[in-house]
Amino acid sequence: MRISVPTEVKNGEFRVALTPSGVHDLVAAGHEVVVQRGAGEGSSMPDAEYADAGATLLDDAADVWAQGEFVLKVKEPVASEYRHLRDDLVLFTYLHLAADAPLTARLVEAGTAAIAYETVQLPGGGLPLLAPMSEVAGRLAPAVGATTLMRSSGGLGLLMSGVPGTRPASVTIVGGGVAGANAAVIAVGMGADVTVFDTNVQRLRYLDDHFQGRIKTAASNPLDLDRAIVSSDLVIGSVLIPGAKAPKLVTNDMVRRMRPGSVLVDIAVDQGGCFEDTRPTTHADPTYTVHGSVFYCVANMPGAVPNTSTSALTNATLPYIRQIARLGWKDALRVDAALAAGLNTAGGGIVNPGVAAAHARELVPLADALG
Residues labelled as active-site residues: 96, 270
Q: Do residues 241 and 271 make contact, with C-beta atoms less than 8 angstroms apart? A: yes
Residue type, 371: G
Helix axes 306-327, 20-28, angle to 10 degrees: 20
User: What percent of the residues of the chain are helix, what percent strand, and what percent coil, each to the nearest 5?
Assistant: 40, 20, 40
> Could you give the 3-state DSSP secondary structure of residue 90?
strand
Q: Are strands 263-266 and 234-237 parallel, antiparallel or unpaired?
A: parallel
Q: Are strands 263-266 and 90-93 parallel, antiparallel or unpaired?
A: unpaired
Among 311, 313, 336, 306, smallest CA distance to 324 is for: 336
The C-alpha angle with vertex 296 and arms to 243 and 9, in degrees rounded to 5, equals: 65
Q: Do residues 357 and 244 make contact, with C-beta atoms less than 8 angstroms apart? A: yes
Q: Which class for 27: exposed (0-12), middle (13-18), buried (19 or more C-beta within 10 A)?
A: middle
